[in-house]
Structure formats: structure tokens, C-alpha cells
Structure 1
Amino acid sequence: MKAFLKTVAQDMLAKYGTNMSDIAVVFPNKRAALFLNTYLAQLAGKPIWTPTYITISDLFRRHSDLKVADPIKSICDLHKVFVACTGIDETLDHFYGWGQLLLADFDDVDKNMVDAKLLFANLSDIHELDDVSYLTDYQKAMIKKFFSNFSDDHNTELKKRFLQLWSHFYDIYVGFNQKLAEQQLAYEGALYRKVVNDEDIDFHYKKYLFIGFNMMQIVEQTLCDRLLKQGKALFYWDYDKYYMEGQNEAGHYIRQYLKHYPNELASYPQKDIYDNMSKNKDITYISAPTENIQARYVNAWLKEHNRYKMGRNVAIVLSDENLLQSVIHSLPEEVKSVNITIGYPLQQTPFYSLIQQLIQLQGTGHPQHSETYRLHYVLTALRHPYTRFISSRYADLLEKLEEQKRFYPSRDFLSMDGDEGLSLLFRNLEEQTAEATQSSYNKQLISYLLDILRMIGTQAKDLNDPLFHESLYRTYTLLNRLQELITSGDLEVDTITLERLIQQLIQTTSIPFHGEPAEGIQVMGVLETRNLDFDHILVLSCNEGKIPKGVNDSSFIPYSLRKAYGLTTVENKVAIFAYYFHSMLQRAHDITLTYNNATEDGQSGEMSRFMLQLMVESQHPIVRKTLIAGQKPLRPAYDEEPKTEEVMKVLDDVRMLTPTFLNTYQRCQKQFYYKYVKGLLEPDEIDEDEVDNRIFGNIFHRAAELFYYGFASKSDIQTDEKGKQQLIRPIVITADILDQAMKDKMLVDRLVDQAFREELFKVGNNDYHPKYNGLQLINKEVIASYLRQLISIDRRQTPFTIIGMELVVSDTLNVNTSRGEKQFKIGGFIDRLDAISPISNISERIRVIDYKTGRAQTTHPKDIDEMFSATPQALSKHTDYYLQAFLYSMIIKNSKRYNSAQDPVSPGLLFIQNAGAEDYDPTLKLGREKIEDITPYEEDFMAHLRSLIADIYNPALPLRPTCDKKRCEYCPYAGLCK
């Protein structure tokens, strides 16, 4: 294969020698110039004076005293003209989106040199069509067809509105161009048109060589005509006989241009240059279920036939440039050099997420006119990887927030005693003045973002990471430009639109890679392949919608008028992509095209229409293959864990066997392994929106504890060194005491507030008044209603005696294990221990009460055997709750401290939600029998308990996962266990 540009270089040297200082080479894009320069140097074999390389855009801009206006400023100026011409007081926020459409239409009008006055003619005056002799009959028919849609007979409200808007378009077009010209600015199409209409421009190069063009706008053709007339323009066309014959759309434009712009390579053997599609080619089509699998295939493709050794003769073309990261990571280690022409998307750098998080922190995360922030947004900002460059104390603040759980921390709290970085991060952007406007806030916001970026740049100046510094520079430059537009008054939008603009700018910005372009494997986008030839080419994501790109005809200019006046239509765009597709394959002999065959996530699952066309028309044999995932889905193995010496040592070191310890073993031994043997704690996430079940229960328990402690004297309560309170003398509760307390209507709310402070916000200070969000407020009201319900239940039981609340109890138990008799400490926390009046001729009954805020099951375990069963049916009856209540009751029964009189002990579960009935009794039942005294069940229960503990401490019994897979749905260790 002889590259097209190599033939061009050969011809240039033959015609102009080694001194081409008065030659300008014009390319559609910049990249081809680097390859042509390399070929010139190789073929000359000695120093040469190279020509000047410019793009077609550079050629126009060099001959104009105007500058191309910034796109955002263009829309801002267009908006002002629009309002002035139409009298419609449309805000810039609403105008911005379709302002972009209108600007694109004006650009298209000028690049195709259409008479705007005729195009935007008043539709009500069809006689304006009488003098359009320059139009063909077909064009006139198209225009009349369009105009007929607006006859009075068929008017609708929508048509009236369009007609009203259309009548102003020419005035807007003229006014907009004048406004930009006053500032020495223009949009690209207007600049191009001004250049070709300026007869005084002197094109000072001796020759202009136009190389490898396909579609040229009318304004570009006009420039070529002018240079051709002066004897300065020469043309090198890159095409193939395959699509130049017949009606193949890939050759649509070049077929026309060859008639007017002769080909400089016409004298060369045409078969060598322009008949490469007929030569033997190895073409492979590969379907794949995901984009990622296609990217990963790059590794295997390069290693196959040692393609990675072919250097710059190998190209990997990305139809979807979002695959760049995956492709880079898939390159094999054997690849020594690679040249990437696709810019690295700024959107994929951490600076994009940082800007988003900072805007959200100061917007949604900061209640208006307050000094507080929402915790979720604070945590998100502090956990960003670049926060470490803002303040070295960010980790201290995170730790402090996790300790205290302030869901609405104040600015003073967050600044950590005036830390410079944190004070900047949580800076107040609101001007506390009556004149404060949206514009002033936007200025403050952009200034804030720039200050953050400056601080990051200062703190990270020694960081050896080129991508980091280039990303920082690009982001700073974009925001700085927005600040200039806001300061000048050009950009007056609300913050939501400003945020969208920032997002749009970053999404369309890329960071260029630097390197020797003519060396190594080439990774590029479709547009970069123009004029370049490769022996081996792999095209990824060659799907319909990507090749050709998903073209749309969004425009204010209807299709019939576009067609009539020669403006760009969908057909034009498809023809352009058809040329890109065929030209990048025409000289390659090793071609692989992959496409996504999935029909999900917005994918159509179709190969490109050009691939289908190649199958039908090219006569080349095409191999079809399919990529599948390299790994098979892992099926749950449910592996058991043997009780090794290390496992047994951990179990022997357990200080106290709690009901949770025992119940976890019964529910799932594998979960028991992760939790108690490996010590993997469940994540304790701070969530400002949700009070989970554990926290909800803790708040309720503490509120109930505070209520009953209110009836004790200070001498009745003892506080340990950790601040934990405990009764040292019982409290007698009567109906009168409860009635008197409940006269204070705010008592329950105050107690719940205090419980929230201690259990959720982790603040013991009663002067701290937490600010509840919506869900927290709902939870507070629910807990308050539960506490009132509890008090109502207790009143029916009066008189009774509170012996203890949140009580730590324990006992020792001797168990015969496979390793001999061992003594274990068993125990835990009792929510409430009380004693009630005589029932069934028993002098007094001690109750072990466990509060439950969930709903009770309608069925109960029928016996002790079922209580120790791990079947789904048994566990659905709250057998784990029963085991806990029974265990605590056994400890209290044998306790000299709490039951010296050997009174009956009764286990109870108080389900608050089910406690509304007058005869509600929390006493547990086995079957239908209430357990008013635990003694008859003691022997059976203790035998089962000893058997359970013996199993746990038996090294011969491995730890097996549960057979009930429903439990895995909510298990925190499911990701480990599979």
C-alpha cells in the first residue's frame, strides 16, 4: 500500500523542488500536515524548505480583521438583538437552547452564501417569488410547496406563531451581524462570507495546494474559484474508483468537484492510487454485547499476527470517543509507542466532579439565607480526592462530623477555627444587601470556583502529574472566560443555566495528548483519519447512529427551504460520513469492524448502514465473528469455613456470649464468621435523610429511659465515667405520677429532642437545638407517638416498679464441649426490668421487657425446640427475639442482685405498634400459654442453649452459609459470600 500523502509529496517535490517557501498547503484538518511533512523529508533525502501548512479555517481567518466570537458571547448578543427586534421579553435562560439553533442556521446561511433576505421572505407575500429566476424549477416547486402550508385556509395557532417569528428573522440576522461587527467580531460563517466578498484581499502565496477535501461549503468553493482564476489553486483529490462510479453517496461531492477543479495526480497510474478497494482485503465483522468488550478486544487484536509491531501502519479508530480510557488500559505491554489524537475528555477528570460538587454544596447543599450546610453535600465535597489540596485538615473535619453527626453544621463549625482552606471551601456567597441579584451571586460563585482552583494549583504545584495540571489549567481557563462575560454584563442567566453552561463547556473540552504523531500505533477518531492511510485498521463501535453520527435536522429553516436554497440537509451529512468511512478503509488490506449488537441502554444493536453496503456491493469475502465476555458468571458456591486453630482462638477470646452472637450463628454461620471471627463491621454510614432501624430504636429507648428517670431523685441514679446512667434504687410508678407528668404537653417532645441529640447528633449539650430535615421530623413525630403509646400501656399496668433500664446483665454458664468443660460468660442489655402486682396468686412478678418498634408476628413458637430452630418458618415467628428474652429472664431469675426474693420472672416483648388494645400484654407465649414464670422452661431452655454453644465451639463443625437465600438479600456480607 502506497499512502496517498506519499504520492502527493512525490508530486510536490517533482514540481517545486526543495524550496517550497512560497507554497501554502491547505488541509481539512491539522493532523495530515505532520504526515505529509514526514514524507517530504523522507523522499527528499536532504534539507528542504517546507511549505506553509494551514487548515481551510486558518486560510479564511488570516485574511480577515475580524475575530470569531466566543460561542457563549454570540448567544448573549443574539438574545439582545432578538428581544429588540421581536419585542418578546424572553429571558436568556429560556432563549439559550434555541439561540444555539438560530446561530447554527445563520452560520449555514452564510457558508452557503444564501441571500438571507430572500430566504427569510415574508410568507404572506407569495408574489416575492415572481423574480427568482436564478432558481431551478425544482427549487421553485419546493419553495411554493413550503409557502402553501401557510395559506389562510389552513392557519393554526402554531403556524401563526411560526409566521410571526419568521417575519423577524431577517431583521435579527442583520442586527446580529452589525452588533458583532461593531466589536470587531463575527461568527465563523459571517467571517468566511466577508472574506470571499472582499475583492481587495491579496493572497500572497504563489500556490495554494488543496489536499484531500471532500465536501466544501459554497463559500469555500467561491474562494477556490477565485484562487483558481488567479492561477494559484491546485487540487489533490483522495478517492477510490469503487465509490466514484454509480450513485454511491461517498463520492457525491468529489464527482462534482472534479469537473471544475482538476486533479493534480491525474497523470499518475490511476490504478495504483485510485483503485485500492478492488484489491484483496481481509475484512472481519465482529459483534459484541457491550462497548467495553470491544475496547478490551484491542489487546487481543494487536497481539494477533503481531500487529503491535507494525507501528504507525496500525490504526485503532474510535467511533465512540468515550471508549478512549478503556482502550488505553487495554493496550498490551508489548506496545512501546502509541500516538493518541483524540483529546482526553475534561469531563472524565476529577475536576469535572469537583466543580459539580462545589456548585451543589453552595446551592442545594446550603439553605438560602442561612449559616448552615446540609451534611450530605459537605461530606461529598470533603471526600473528593482534591480536597486534600484545599486544606490539610479536611480529615479532621470528617472525623469530627462522624463523631458529632451534625446534619446541618454551621459555617463556623466547618471552618475549624478559621482554617484558610476550609474557610474558603465554605465561604458565604450571598450578598447580605437589598440589591443582591442573581448576577451578583453568579459573580460570587465563579469567583469562588476560581479561588478554589487557584488554591489547588498552589498547593499541588510540586505534583508530578501532567494530566492533573493540564486539567486544572483547562478548567480554570473555561471558568475565567465565563467570569469575563458575567462581569461585562453579556451573560445574565440564573444559576441553573450557568451550571448547565459550565457542564456543557467542560463536556465539549478535551485535553490534547502530546507526542510524535508519525510514530507508534495510531489511536484516533473518525475525523482524524482524513487523508491518512493504514495497512491494519480496527474500527470500534461501528454502529448505526455512530457511523454515520446520529444526524438531526433541528433547525428553524424547514427542510423544503433548506433543500431549495442548497443549505445543509440530513442527506449531506450522511454523504460526508459515507466518504469518511470508505476513505479510511480504501487502502487498508487488514480491516476489522466491531459493533454493539445489544438492544438495551439506548443501543439499536444494528451495524452501520455502510457495513451492510460493503457486504452487498464490495464483492469482498467478509468473515463474521462474535465476542463474548471472557469470564463466566460466578455461581454461588456457598463454601463453608473450617474452624481452624486461628478461628477457635478468636472464638475463645470472646468475652461475653450475647443473644445477637447466638442468633447470628443460628441465622447464618457464614455471616457469623465474617462478623465475629473476621471482625468485619457493618459500615456506619452517616445519612442525613434516613434514620435507620438501629438508630430509630436507640432514640426510642433513650427517650423512654429519660422519661422514667424523671421520677427518680438524683440519689437514685448513678453515672459512670462514660456518662452512662443506672438506677441504684427502684422507682415506684403509679397512675397519679404518670397523669401528673403528662399534663406537661411538651414533655415527650423535649425528651425525644434530647434523645435525638444524644443518639443521632451525638451532642449532649441541651442548649444545642438540632435542625431536623423532613424525614427526621417525621421520625421524631413517630417516636414521640410511640413513647405516648408506651406511657398509655404502662398506665394500665400501674402500680409497678422500675428496677432498671438499659441494664447490663450477665451470668456464667458451664458447657461440656468437644474440648472439655468450659465456662462462658453470657449476657447483654435489657431494655427494661420491672416488677408488677400479683397475678394468678403469685406475690410479685418480675418482667424482662424488650421494646420492639416493628410489628409483631401473629404466630408464636410452639415450644423450646422451635425457638432454637433456624428454619425460615421458625425465624418468621421472631424466635431470635424469644431466645434473647428467655436468656435475659434466666439470668435475672438466678440473680441475687435483682431477684433476691426468688420471685417469678416473666419474659416480655413490647411491640409498640400492636399495643393499642386495652388488654394488651407483652408477656411472651409458647403456643397459647403465657409465660408468667420462666422456671418450668428452664431445664429445657438451658439444655438447648448448652447444645448451641457446644456446636459453636466444636472445631469439627465448619461454619456453613444459610440455606435460606432470602436472608442474603439484606445481608451486609452478601458481596463477600456471593
Structure 2
Amino acid sequence: MGSFLEHVAEDLLSRYGTNLSRVAVVFPNKRASLFLNEHLARLAQKPLWSPAYITISDLFRSHSKLQVADPILLVCELHRVFTACTGIDETLDHFYGWGQLLLSDFDDLDKNMAPADKVLANLRDIHELDDTSYLTPEQREMIKRFFSNFSEEHNTELKERFLRLWSHIGEIYHAYNQQLAEKQLAYEGALYRQVATDETLEFEYDTYVFIGFNLLQKVEQTLFSRLEKQGKAIFYQDTDEVPPHHINLISAPTENIQARYISEWLDADRINDGRKTAIVLCNEGLLQTVIHCLPENVDKINITTGYPLGQTSIASLINTLINMQVHGYSLRKQTFARRWIESIKRHPYATLMPDDFASQRYTDIQPLLHWLISLTQTIATSKSPIIDSPLDTESLFRMYTLLNRLSGLVDSGVLKVDVITLQRLVVQLISTTSIPFHGEPAEGIQVMGVLETRNLDFDHVLLLSCNEGNMPRGVNDTSFIPYALRKAYGLTTIDYKVSIYEHYFHRLLQRAKDVTILYNNATSDGKTAEMSRFMLQLMVENKIPITFQTLKAGQTPQLHAPQAINKTPEVMSQLQRRFAKDAGGISPTAINTYLRCQLRFFYRYVCELKEPDSTEDDLIDNRLFGNIFHKAAQLVYEYLVATKATITTMAIDDLLKEEVTIERVVDEAIKQEFFHINDASRPLPPLDGLQLINREVIIKYLRQLLECDRRLAPFSILGLEKPVNITLNNQYIAGVIDRLDSITDPETGLERIRVVDYKTGSRQMKAMPDVAAIFSQEAIKDHSDYFLQTLLYAHIVRSKTPQMVSPCLLFIQHAGSEDYDPTLKIGKEAITDIADYSDEFITLLRQQLDDIYNAQIAFVPTDDQHRCETCPYAALCRG
């Protein structure tokens, strides 16, 4: 059984002989022309004049004086018309995304030759639609139902916004087309419509052969009909419905496993059949993986889909460089964040770039583009062995061309956007650019995307990643023109897009001897990936024998269990040195780390491996937020005690009324803790949106703290950020108390000192059942480490005074309630005096210190796997 194109070649030769010089063969795309030409040459068995081969796009464009403009230029011009017609001062940055959508709607209007004035009529002027004689009863009913939604007197805000746009959309359409035409430009649909409606056209060839067109748009139908009436057109449509002999459906947990299956599928027969064997990528992002998975015994291969520019080294570098400029600059450090710079330094092309690549920040798009072009040019002309393949060279050229194209639009004043929008444009352009492979198209195994299979037939077909969303590919109905109007006026709908892919799918299978279809069955976010609806249709129709298989991963990675680390003499020496008195001693935080995980303690304090700094960017994380609040609380009480030692209700009330002082201390805290500015004369640098939100929350928390303290007044401040220390088991322990104050107990009327530790987290503290629980693994998850620190500080203070001392953890988020009491509890009893618990607490703490410094006790890992998930040393433990 011959292929579709073989039958076409036979018929053309029987009609016109070997002189096809006055014949133009029109295909949907260029790919099939190579195969038809080969069939003609083989079947003619003698020299022949080949026909001209053109695509449908070439046919339209060659018959118009207009040029299809650059897509970016088209949106920029549309923006100008939009602002002129509506008077709305919408920036190009805000307009660009939905400008592309509006342009797509205009393009669809023209390709389907819909009556623009009718479709885009002002929805309030329904009398404009009185003449609907050209519509079918069904279409008239759809329009009636749609417009009834806008006949009510009271419209929603969304409906009003829609109406405001539509009150100008017809005017925008006509003005836009006129403005482009004056510049001899057009978008594709407008050019197609102009050609289709131009009755004066003269056609170059005697005969136009249209091969493999289906589901035609109105402009195509109109042009085809005219040529047919002139006796200049013949049509070939593949209508055979010969089913394949057998279909094998295979599910797989990942796309990589699907690609690795290629080497098993490509047996000797399929390899020997060469171009009759096709590997079709429903997800073209798989191309790189597929290339690497082809077996070594495949010596000839033809890759019809281009290599994505987005998967090249230069694309990753340009994306990272733009990200560094857009997101990587730290205002508080006045430099680029280290992680962005390090990321670029690890790039393969880093050695080809100047050392000062991160010395300047670009906030305007023109110098930014010029900088990127210069770097690309420097890399491309370096003559380095790093640029070792034609793919590298071609990708650099493509990127250079792409950036120059953007730069030209910026330099001419057409493109005026900010760096965020420029970044989106660059990403979009890169994602739609591919690098063609060079080779002999009619030889070897064919690796192609779905669109390249049009009009071609294969004996052996392997479809990869045939999932819903890939087949059909990402079809959607996003549009300013509602579905009802699209349906009524014959515009493209989602049904049309699905039908096209359905045709490609079934046409690809109909002449194949064997078909294997793979799809992803992985579960992600609780949802299982679905096979294509076309596969389900095959299963339901039950006309073709189908077998089902499942691929599984060949290996399961084995996690290495964390191992205990012995306290060798070297480890003990480092432990003593790290926590010596002159090195600051051992802190309660270090003891708590040991309680949570001894291996984390070892890596952090013994090996002195610093945990990653999460404040590299201009982001206020939880730790920084707490630091800023602590500093603001210190500053506000320093302000209060500057005039009087006793804090009164009146003093707090005056401060709460005087909002400026609270805002000033918060700003000063942000300056010191976030920007590291200690010069009081320097102003607070500008804050971004998230930073401003954090500022407002800290102000709210500070006011909440003052409201809470107001209920205790009068009281005295004995110390703020007060250093304390103690020596136990010959080990020096030191820390800092957030606040030390003296209050009159509202229940007993007795004076007591409070050791207050501020907490900005959302969790409420649970009471410990007993003192021993503070040191137990079960209680660690309930923040018992807060207990340990605060009880220790309270004990140190109590050892130097006869007064009662109570430990307090003041959770700011919960301090708003009238009965809030931050005093810690053991069981149901509040600790009004730490002396009642000191002996047991200190005995247990000494035992903990003995364990830490006992050379016979190894550092062992925690058995709480949840802690490992967020531990920065997890890779070391399990490596």
C-alpha cells in the first residue's frame, strides 16, 4: 500500500507528465514537499521539470504589497491606537499581555472574514444588529441569548469594564488597520483578508495543487474557490481510513523513562526501515532527552523539529543575567546578591565574560539590551574551545539576532517598557525560537513534532508523552470575543482547535503497520496525569487490537542512613576550643540544637559550617523580622525610660497617641537590622511592597506590645538586651535577655522580676508537664527550647537577687487578649518564682552538658524525619 504522497505523485504525473514547471504545489507546511519531490523523481524514471513548492502562507504573502510586521511592533502600534481611541493612559507594560490577546482576536476575525462591525458592535446599541438575515436561526438565537445579558439596567463591575472596552473596540479595529496599511504593514489575518477579497489578483502559475488541507478558514476557502472557478486549482485530500494493524498503549511514571524506552523500541527492522520509522514528540521539550536516548547503532537520523533555543547554554545565561538585573540587586547592600553572581560564575560561559560583569546595575531597557548584546558578541567571538559545536555557534547567532531585534525596536522608540516587561518578552521570544538541524530530510529515522507529520505516512510510529494537554496541545478559548459570538459568526472556537489535532492524530495512525503510544501516568499535587482524549476514543471504538503495558523505573535510589560520629580527640579539642570562655562560651541556642539533632550540632558548631544566609536578597525573612521587632521594642522602651524610670499608664497612652514616635523607632530598627545603617543622620532607604507590609506589621505588633504592657503599668524596666552568664560543669554559658522588668503581681500584690523573651511567631506556647520534659525529645517539637533558654536566664537573675523571678515568653500575636499572661507554666501552675524549680532544672542541664562533653558518647542523628526535611546539613548526613 503506497503512501498518500505517492498516490499524489502518480496522479500528477498522469495529468501533466514530466513538465510541471507551470504547476505550484501548495502545502500547509514545507516538510511534505521534500517527500513529494522524491516520489516524483523516482516515479518519473526520467528527467522532469519539478513544480514550484510553496506554503499557504507564501501564497498569500506573495500576492500582497503589505508586509507582515514584527509581532512586538504590532502590539506597540496597537497600544498607540488604543490610547488614542479611548483616551485611557494605559502603559505599554500593563497593555502588552492583553494587547497580544486583542491582536489574536483581530487576526481571527479577518482569517474567518467575519463582519467586524457586527461582531464588535457596541453592546448597548443593539439596533445595529437589526439586519441578521445572513445568519442561520441557530446563530440568531445564540446572539440573542448573549446580548440579553447586557440588557439589564444594573450591571456588575466586571460587566461594566467589559462594556467600556467594547464601546471602543470597533473603532480600535478600523483605526489600527488603517494605521498599519499607511506604513505598508499588516498582521497576518489582515493581509490574508486583503488578498482573499482582492478581485484584481493575477496568479503566476497555470495550476495550483492544494494537498492535505482540512478544516479551512474562510480566507482559504475564498481563495481556493476563486482559483477553482478559474480552472487553476486541483485538490488532494487524504480520506483513506485504513486502521493500523495493532496499537500498543504504554503508561510510564516519567517522560525520561519514556525516552529511554526508545532504544528498546528501535529494533533492527525499524532501524533498517529508516524514514518509514517516526518518533513523534507530543511534547517537543523532550527533544534533548530523546537525542541522548537514541541507540548507537542508529547511524542516520533526521530531526525535523528545531532544537529549542531555550535549552541552550546561551539562553540559560541570558535568562540568569536578566534575572540578576531585575531581581538580584540588594538595595540594603547596594550590590547584587551573592547567589546570583555565584550562579553566573558556575555557568559554562562564565570564563568568557569580563570579570566586572556584575559591576553595574541597569534599570533602563536600552542599556540593558546593549549590555546583553555586547556579552553575547564577546562570547561568540572568543574562539574558545568551550564553543565546540555548530549548535553552540548557531544558538549564539540566534540569540544575538533576537536581542538586536529588540534593541532596534527600543532604539527607534517603538518599544517603551520597563525591565520586568522586557524580561517577559525575552523569555517569550526565546521560547518560540528554535535552531534547525541540517541533514538529508528523506533519509533515516524521523524525529518530529506533531505538526511536522502532516501529509506524511510511516510504517512504524512511536508517540511520546501523548497526554491531555499535549495532544491536543494546550488548546484554550481565551479571548475578548465571547464563545457565543465566536460560534455565531463562524470564528475559531476551541472545538475547531481540538478537531485539527484529532485529524493529525488519526491521519498519522491510519497507514502505520504498528503504533506504540506512551503517556505519563504520574501523580502530581494529588492529580494523576491523563492520557489523551484521542487515546480514550481508540479504546472505546474497539476497532483496532490494543495491548496495554506499563514501564517502571529500572532502579530505585537508595538513601544512605545517617551515621553516628564519634568524638575523636580532634573533635573534643575543637569542641573545647569552639565553646571556650574567650570564644563566647556555649549558648542556650547551641544546647537546644544538640537536643534537636546532635549531628546538626556537630556540623554547625564543631565543624563550623555556616547555615545558608536566607537574607541574601531584599527579603525580610522570619529571623530578620524577629530581629527588627526586638530592636524596635528595645528602642521604644529606651525612649520611655529616658524621662522616667517607672513606666506609667499615662506614658504608654501618650506614646500610643503619638504615632510618629512608634513609626520612627520601627524605621530606625529596619535601618540598623536590615540595611546595617547605624548613622542616625542617614535616612531610611526606599522600601519595596513586601518590605512596607512587614513594616506595617511590626508597627502593629509594637503597638500590641504596648497595649499589653499598659495593663501591667506601673512597672519598672531593669534592663534591655541585657547580657547574662553562668558557669556550670566548668563550662561558660552566656546569653542576652530581651527585657528585664519589675511588676506588681495583679493577683498576689507581690513584687516580682520578670525575664521576658519576645516571640513573633504564630504558635502559642504549651505548658510543660514537668521540668524533665524540657529536655525530652517528645517535647522538643513544642518549643521546649524556648523554656530551656528562658528558665536558664531566670535562674541566673534569681541567683543574684532575693526577689521572686519568673520566666516569661511573650508571644506578640497572642498578646491582645485582656487575660493574656506570658508567664511560663509547669503543669497548671505559673512559675512565679524560678527558685521553686531551679535545683531540678540545673541538675538536668548539668547532665546535658556532661553528655555534650563526654568523649565516649557519639553524636547521633535525630529520629524525627520531619526535622531532616528542613535541615541544611541533610545532604551531608545522607551522602
TM-score relative to the length of structure 2: 0.71
Q: How does 1:853-868 map to 2 (within 5 A)?
A: 853=759, 859=767, 862=770, 868=775
Q: Which residue of 1 aligns with 2:851?
A: 951
Q: How does 1:882-921 map to 2 (within 5 A)?
A: 884-885=792-793, 909=807, 911=809
Q: CA 1:51–1:658 in structure 2 vs 1: closer, same or farther (change >3 Å)?
A: same
Q: Which residue of 2 aligns with 1:304?
A: 265
Q: Which residue of 1 aligns with 2:566?
A: 643
8 Å CA contact 2:565, 2:858 repeated in 1: yes
1:826 to 729, 732, 746: 732
Q: Which residue of 2 aligns with 1:25?
A: 25
Deviates more, 1:30-39 or 1:162-171: 162-171
CA distance in 2, matches of 1:180, 1:590: 51
Q: Which residue of 1 aligns with 2:746?
A: none
Offset of residue 55 of structure 1 = 0.9
CA distance in 2, matches of 1:514, 1:481: 28
CA distance in 1, matches of 2:833, 2:626: 29
For the pair 1:284 / 2:243, whether they are aligned, the reply is: no
Any gaps of 5 or more consecutive residues in structure 2?
581-585, 744-750
For the pair 1:881 / 2:789, whether they are aligned, the reply is: yes
CA distance in 1, matches of 2:225, 2:491: 19
Paired residue secondary structure (2:267): helix
CA distance in 2, matches of 1:227, 1:571: 29
CA distance in 2, matches of 1:183, 1:8: 42
Offset of residue 529 of structure 1 = 0.5
Offset of residue 586 of structure 1 = 2.0
Q: How does 1:163-562 map to 2 (within 5 A)?
A: 178-195=178-195, 201-205=201-205, 208-217=208-217, 219-221=219-221, 223-224=223-224, 233-240=233-240, 242=241, 277-278=242-243, 281-288=245-252, 293-306=254-267, 309=271, 311-324=274-287, 327=290, 339-344=302-307, 349-350=315-316, 353=319, 357=323, 385=344, 392-393=355-356, 422=360, 425-427=361-363, 445-462=364-381, 464=387, 465-466=392-393, 469-470=396-397, 472-473=399-400, 475-480=402-407, 482-483=409-410, 486-487=413-414, 502=425, 505-506=428-429, 509-516=432-439, 517-544=441-468, 546-549=470-473
For the pair 1:669 / 2:595, whether they are aligned, the reply is: no
Deviates more, 1:13-22 or 1:456-465: 13-22
Amino acid at match of 2:676: K
CA distance in 1, matches of 2:707, 2:166: 69
CA distance in 1, matches of 2:820, 2:477: 74
1:872 to 776, 779, 782: 779
Q: Which residue of 2 aligns with 1:583?
A: 507
Q: How does 1:77-88 map to 2 (within 5 A)?
A: none
CA distance in 2, matches of 1:199, 1:695: 72
Deviates more, 1:70-79 or 1:554-563: 554-563
CA distance in 1, matches of 2:663, 2:161: 59
Q: Which residue of 2 aligns with 1:592?
A: 516
8 Å CA contact 1:177, 1:186 repeated in 2: yes
8 Å CA contact 1:659, 1:887 repeated in 2: no
**Bigger radius of gyration, 1 or 2?**
1
Amino acid at match of 1:210: F
Offset of residue 298 of structure 1 = 1.7
Deviates more, 1:19-28 or 1:500-509: 500-509
Q: CA 1:697–1:37 in structure 2 vs 1: closer, same or farther (change >3 Å)?
A: same
8 Å CA contact 2:369, 2:403 repeated in 1: yes
CA distance in 1, matches of 2:781, 2:365: 61
8 Å CA contact 1:559, 1:569 repeated in 2: yes
Q: Which residue of 2 aligns with 1:690?
A: 620
Offset of residue 584 of structure 1 = 1.1
Amino acid at match of 1:473: Y
Offset of residue 528 of structure 1 = 1.0
8 Å CA contact 1:338, 1:521 repeated in 2: yes
Amino acid at match of 2:433: S
CA distance in 2, matches of 1:937, 1:567: 82
Cα-to-partner distance string for 1:347-398 (whole Å, 9 max, x where unaligned): 6644784587489569xx99xxxxx789899778767739978873466xxx
TM-score relative to the length of structure 1: 0.65
Paired residue secondary structure (2:438): coil
8 Å CA contact 2:467, 2:529 repeated in 1: yes
Amino acid at match of 1:512: I
CA distance in 2, matches of 1:344, 1:933: 74
CA distance in 2, matches of 1:153, 1:931: 72
8 Å CA contact 2:486, 2:493 repeated in 1: yes
Cα-to-partner distance string for 1:834-864 (whole Å, 9 max, x where unaligned): 9999xxxxxxx9999685546995746755x
Q: Which residue of 1 aligns with 2:53?
A: 53
8 Å CA contact 1:357, 1:380 repeated in 2: no
Any gaps of 5 or more consecutive residues in structure 1?
133-138, 243-276, 367-371, 396-418, 428-444, 713-732, 814-823, 838-844, 894-898
CA distance in 2, matches of 1:169, 1:858: 62
8 Å CA contact 1:809, 1:827 repeated in 2: yes
CA distance in 1, matches of 2:856, 2:556: 34
Q: Which residue of 2 aligns with 1:681?
A: 610
1:99 to 85, 94, 102: 102
Offset of residue 583 of structure 1 = 1.5
Amino acid at match of 2:247: I
Cα-to-partner distance string for 1:233-285 (whole Å, 9 max, x where unaligned): 45544342x2xxxxxxxxxxxxxxxxxxxxxxxxxxxxxxxxxx346x23112
Amino acid at match of 1:770: L
Count of equivalent residues: 818
8 Å CA contact 2:824, 2:830 repeated in 1: no
Q: CA 1:684–1:10 in structure 2 vs 1: closer, same or farther (change >3 Å)?
A: same
CA distance in 1, matches of 2:139, 2:663: 75
Q: Which residue of 2 aligns with 1:762?
A: 676
Identity %: 37
Offset of residue 581 of structure 1 = 1.2
Paired residue secondary structure (2:676): coil
Q: CA 1:345–1:355 in structure 2 vs 1: closer, same or farther (change >3 Å)?
A: farther
Offset of residue 315 of structure 1 = 2.6
